[in-house]
């Protein structure tokens, strides 16, 4: 019978393309890794890797084995994630994955409220970049709860989506901009010639069709900045304008920028929490989700 550790060794060798690199990653010796692979090859009756002058390369059989081993290991991680549901809500941990604008005020305030009521539960936060799938993180067990927006909504089997917040999209202008004092509102058509600052999804211009229609054409994107504070700094410096989601908090805006409601209003988006279904998630996660929903 093939054990899980052998599958882990197989996957690391395939990922790194080297017995030595896999040994270092797994805190093993290179001969021990070589023996593990040789044992797997004897049991499978096929060669899994071609030995090269520098490293190794998976054979066709090896690539099939790597794909299957990856599925097995993901299944084990999901099993372990679900078994944590037997822990209590008072002595567990909740790993949260979120996008940058959600961690300015929204999540910190809710972390504070939750910790005051449940001091025995450990909260941890990962701020993710736009290319990572929040639902996959929950399924694979690397996050217990992930925030996403309705721009990302999809029917992902095994994941429950819970609506939390209706996010209004505002426009951020430099404080010295001629339109910054337009009674708290700004006509998007008047910003048609402005340079726009874009960022990492979902802290970006999002689906462009409504914005382009209101501007009278596609926005002229002059800067792309992934850092939330950096984008505000660019606006304050007068080099562009940006969309500002309300989840970032009105009080979190720099004092040298102004937030205005666009005319016409841009479609609101829903902020949701992705978790495992109630029967599969730890009680601490359900309790934290209740805190988010009640805020």
Q: Please state, as a whole number, how many other Cβ atoms lie within 10 Å of the Cβ of residue 3.
A: 9
Averaged pLDDT, 233-239 = 94
* Chain segment 202-229, per-residue pLDDT in tens: 888 888 788 999 999 999 999 999 888 8
pLDDT, tens digit, for every residue of 102-137? 999 999 999 999 999 988 888 999 998 766 788 888
Is the pLDDT at 182 greater than 70, yes or no?
no
pLDDT over 80 (residue 68): yes
% residues pLDDT > 70 (the chain)? 95
pLDDT at residue 91 in the model: 57
pLDDT category of residue 50 using cuts at 50, 70 and 90? very high
- The reported pLDDT for the residue numbered 20 is 92
* Residue 248 pLDDT greater than 70, yes or no: yes
pLDDT at 172 over 60: yes
d(CA 242, CA 172): 5
Structural domains present in the chain: 4-84 (1.10.10.10), 87-165+270-294 (3.40.190.10), 169-267 (3.40.190.10)
Flag whether pLDDT at 86 surpasses 90: no
C-beta of residue 227 within 8 angstroms of C-beta of residue 104: no
């Amino acid at each position: 019978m093939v054990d899980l550790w052998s599958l882990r060794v197989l996957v690391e060798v395939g990922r790194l393309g080297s017995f030595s690199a896999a040994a270092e990653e797994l805190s093993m010796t290179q001969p021990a890794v070589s023996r593990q692979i040789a044992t797997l090859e004897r049991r499978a009756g096929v060669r899994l890797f071609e030995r090269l002058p520098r490293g190794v390369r998976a054979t066709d059989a090896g690539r099939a084995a790597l794909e299957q081993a990856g599925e097995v290991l993901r299944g084990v991680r999901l099993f372990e994630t679900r078994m944590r549901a037997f822990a209590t809500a008072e002595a567990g941990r909740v790993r949260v994955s979120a996008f940058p604008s959600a961690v300015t005020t929204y999540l910190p305030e809710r972390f504070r409220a939750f910790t005051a009521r449940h001091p025995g539960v450990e909260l941890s936060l990962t701020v993710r970049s736009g290319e990572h799938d929040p639902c996959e993180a929950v399924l694979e067990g690397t996050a217990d709860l992930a925030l996403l927006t309705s721009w990302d909504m999809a029917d992902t089997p095994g994941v429950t989506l819970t609506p939390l917040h209706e996010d209004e999209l505002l426009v951020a202008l430099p404080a010295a901009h001629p339109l910054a004092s337009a009674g708290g509102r700004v006509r998007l058509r008047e910003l048609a010639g402005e340079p726009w600052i874009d960022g990492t999804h979902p802290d970006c211009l999002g689906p462009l069709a409504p914005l382009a229609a209101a501007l009278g054409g596609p926005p002229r994107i002059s800067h792309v900045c992934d850092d939330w504070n950096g984008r505000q700094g660019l606006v304050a410096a007068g080099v562009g304008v940006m969309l500002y989601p309300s989840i970032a908090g009105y009080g979190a805006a720099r004092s040298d920028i102004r937030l205005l409601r666009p005319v016409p209003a841009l479609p609101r988006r829903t902020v949701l929490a992705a978790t495992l279904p109630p029967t599969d998630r730890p009680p601490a996660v359900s309790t934290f989700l209740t805190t988010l929903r009640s805020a």
